[in-house]
Amino acid sequence: MVERRTGQPDAMGAREMLAALLDRETFSSWDTPPAEAKQDPAYAAELAAARDKTGLDESVITGSGRIRGRQVAVATSEFGFLGGSIGVAAGQRLVAAIDRAAAQRLPLIALPASGGTRMQEGTTAFLQMARITAAIGAYRAARQPYLAYLRHPTTGGVFASWGSLGHITAAEPGALIGFLGPRVLSTLHGAPLPEGVQTAENLHACGLVDAVVGPRELAGFVDSVLSVTAARRRSAPRPPAGDVQPSSAWESVLRTRSAGRPGLHQLLAAADAEVVTLQENTIVLALARFCGNPCVLVGQDRLAPVPGPAAMRLARRGMRLAAELRLPLVTVIDTTGAELSQQAEEGGLAAELAATLAELVNLDVPTVSLLLGQGAGGAALALFPADRVLALQHSWLAALPPEGASAILYRDPGHAAELAARQRICAPDLAADGLVDTVIPEDPQQPGLACERAAAELAWELGQVDADADGDGAARLAGRLARHRRAGAARG
Give strand ranges (E) for 156-250: 168-171, 177-178, 211-212
Instruction: Give, as one character, the DSSP assignment of residue 258.
Output: S
pLDDT at 459: 92
User: Is residue 390 exposed (0-12), middle (13-18) or buried (19+ Cβ within 10 Å)?
Assistant: buried
pLDDT at 3: 47
* pLDDT band, residue 154 (cuts 50/70/90): very high
pLDDT at 256: 95
pLDDT tens-digit series, residues 362-396: 999 999 999 999 999 999 999 999 999 999 999 99
How many Cβ atoms sit within 10 Å of the Cβ of residue 136?
23
State what percent of residues in the chain have pLDDT above 90: 79
pLDDT at 4: 47
Q: How far is CA 122 from the centre of its chain?
A: 35
pLDDT at 432: 93
Contacts of residue 21, defined as CB under 8 A and 6 or more positions apart, other chains included, come to 65, 67, 74, 109, 111, 215, 218, 219, 222
Under a CB-based contact definition with an 8 Å cutoff, are residues 58 and 92 in contact?
A: no
| Delimiting residues of CATH 3.90.226.10 domain(s) in the chain | 14-229, 249-491
Q: How far apart are CA 365 and CA 468, in angstroms?
A: 9
User: Packing angle between helix 264-271 and helix 447-464, nearest 10 degrees?
Assistant: 70
**Which whole number is the average pLDDT over 215-244?**
88
Average pLDDT, the chain: 91
pLDDT at 487: 72
- Choose between 87 and 470: higher pLDDT: 87
pLDDT at 492: 53
* Stretch (H or E) spanning 74: strand 70-77
**Which whole number is the average pLDDT over 339-361?**
96
pLDDT at 10: 64
Helix ranges, 166-247 (H): 182-189, 200-205, 218-229
pLDDT at 434: 92
Contacts of residue 24, defined as CB under 8 A and 6 or more positions apart, other chains included, come to none
Q: 194: cis peptide before it, omega within 30°?
A: no
pLDDT at 472: 66
Q: How far apart are CA 242 and CA 389, in angstroms?
A: 17
pLDDT tens-digit series, residues 32-80: 999 887 889 999 999 999 999 999 999 999 999 999 999 999 999 999 9
Q: How far apart are CA 61 and CA 46, in angstroms?
A: 19
State what percent of residues in the chain have pLDDT above 70: 96
Helix ranges, 411-472 (H): 416-422, 427-432, 447-464
Give me the sign of the Cα torsion angle 331, 332, 333, 338.
negative
pLDDT tens-digit series, residues 314-331: 999 999 999 999 999 999
* pLDDT band, residue 238 (cuts 50/70/90): confident
CATH homologous superfamily of 249-491: 2-enoyl-CoA Hydratase; Chain A, domain 1 (3.90.226.10)
**Which whole number is the average pLDDT over 347-366?**
96
Contacts of residue 372, defined as CB under 8 A and 6 or more positions apart, other chains included, come to 263, 264, 267, 300, 302, 332, 333, 334, 392, 395, 454
User: Is residue 430 exposed (0-12), middle (13-18) or buried (19+ Cβ within 10 Å)?
Assistant: buried
Residue type, 386: A
- pLDDT of 1 over the 50 cut: no
CATH homologous superfamily of 14-229: 2-enoyl-CoA Hydratase; Chain A, domain 1 (3.90.226.10)
* pLDDT band, residue 465 (cuts 50/70/90): confident
**Does the predicted model carry a pTM greater than 0.75?**
yes
